[in-house]
Amino acid sequence: MKQELETENKNVQQSAGQVNNLVDADLRRPAQMDEDRRQRLEKLGALRLTTATEVAPEVSSLSVDGIGFFALDDVHAIKAKAKQGKTTMLKVCLSEWLRGSQFRVKSELEEPRILWLDTEQKQSDVKLIISDVLSMTGVDAAYVDSHLFLYGLRKRGFDGLKDDLVLLISEVHPQVVVIDGIVEFVASFNDEGGAKQLIHRLLCIAEDWHCAIVNVLHTNKADEDHNMRGHLGTMLQQKAGTVLECRKLDAVITVSCSDARHEEMPAWSIMFDDSGRIVDADEQRRQQLEAHKAELQQRRQQASAEKQKERLDYALLCIRDHGGSISRKQLTEILMKKFGIARQTVSGQITGWLKDKSLYEVDGNVHASDEIALAF
């Protein structure tokens, strides 16, 4: 009996203790909620901008004809179909960062440190980046090694690449980060949640480390589709300060700005010469554009001539069917109905046919030949 009473007392005490704990927790909860709210508001307050807020001017890492692009504290994108010159274009950018200027592209940074992560090519191809840049710039190997930090990460898994990136940035302290193959940082480029998380993290890294992060991503496979692939491409498109596109026509690679938060970078072109060196190709691109323009003009003229011939042939058929003569008014009505064109257009065409002697007119009647016209 005594033992039962002791057990019952113990249970009562435990229940009372639990009740007291719950009461204490309830009492503490409002205070904790107030503290959480205060801390959250404090963090948000640090992000508020007012009329007195001073914001540092944007710093571009490169420029073309005085128009800056690839700004620090932001993410950017380079897009293209496969084998359209993305890496070649980046070699030119790298040369400018290391040497200062080349062609129409100019560095806006003083001796920047560049972190370059290649997630797609084998080591021998990655090494060609250094070889080509040495050839293009003429700077010595020691300077390149002290300013370029190039890593071939094709064998690294996507689950570790983000941590690799942060670790290398913390070690190198670069002003520019190039990720040639950002798709390897996610399990799938169509994973919307993973894409949002990655791009958000890149934005935070760019601001925290005061660097530009340039991401390379393929566009969709269809020739007419120039959007970057999947949800990853959509998120990158939305957040990128600059989106450049590389297109290759014959041997000429043209770099243009498809999207920019501020002023768009002017297009520029490069190509490989007979010796395999990357050279300026703006003149070749100008010639391509002129040839394309002339070709389009020729096609338009040909299409117009074919359309005119079709209409004239039909007009001659109408004249024949009406015994060799038809009133201009009636011919106008027939052609309007047949080809669905305005009266003014038909009238102008008939006037032109009369002027070049394709048709003849006497007393308001149109004839197919001057002999028939003279007979009336």
Q: Look at residue 24 in the predicted model and tell me its pLDDT.
A: 59
Question: pTM to 2 decimals?
Answer: 0.75
Paired tokens of 236: 């990158």
Alpha-carbon span 281 to 293, nearest angstrom = 18
Q: What is the mean pLDDT of residues 190-204?
A: 95
For the chain, what is the mean pLDDT?
A: 89
Q: Tell me: the pLDDT tens digits for 279-321?
A: 999 999 999 989 888 989 999 999 888 998 999 999 999 998 8
**What ranges make up the beta strands (E) of the chain?**
60-64, 67-71, 74-80, 101-102, 105-107, 114-118, 148-152, 176-180, 212-218, 242-249, 252-260, 268-272, 278-280, 325-327, 360-362, 365-367
324 pLDDT band, cuts 50/70/90, is confident
Compute and round to an integer the Cα radius of gyration of the chain.
36
Q: What is the mean pLDDT of residues 23-49?
A: 78
CA quadruple 151, 62, 65, 76: dihedral sign: positive
Percent of the chain exceeding pLDDT 70 equals 90
Q: Look at residue 304 in the predicted model and tell me its pLDDT.
A: 87
> What are residue 360's DSSP bridge partners?
367
- DSSP reduced 3-state for 356: coil
Residue with tokens 């498109």: 237
Q: Starting from the edge strand earliest in sequence, which strands make up the sheet with 325-327, in order? A: 325-327, 365-367, 360-362
Q: Which of 196-210, 221-235, 326-340, 361-375 has the lowest mean pLDDT?
A: 361-375
168 pLDDT band, cuts 50/70/90, is very high
Q: Look at residue 20 in the predicted model and tell me its pLDDT.
A: 59
Q: Look at residue 1 in the predicted model and tell me its pLDDT.
A: 53
**Domains of the chain: residue spans and CATH:** 60-280 (3.40.50.300), 291-375 (1.10.10.10)
Query: Residue 29: pLDDT above 70?
Result: no
Q: Look at residue 220 in the predicted model and tell me its pLDDT.
A: 92
Residues 6+ apart with CB under 8 A from 120: 154, 180, 181, 184
Q: Look at residue 116 in the predicted model and tell me its pLDDT.
A: 98
Alpha-carbon span 312 to 300, nearest angstrom = 18
Q: How far is CA 326 from the centre of its chain?
A: 59
Q: What is the mean pLDDT of residues 149-165?
A: 94
Most confident of 96-105, 124-133, 297-306, 357-366: 124-133
Q: How far is CA 173 from the centre of its chain?
A: 27
Query: Residue 112: pLDDT above 70?
Result: yes
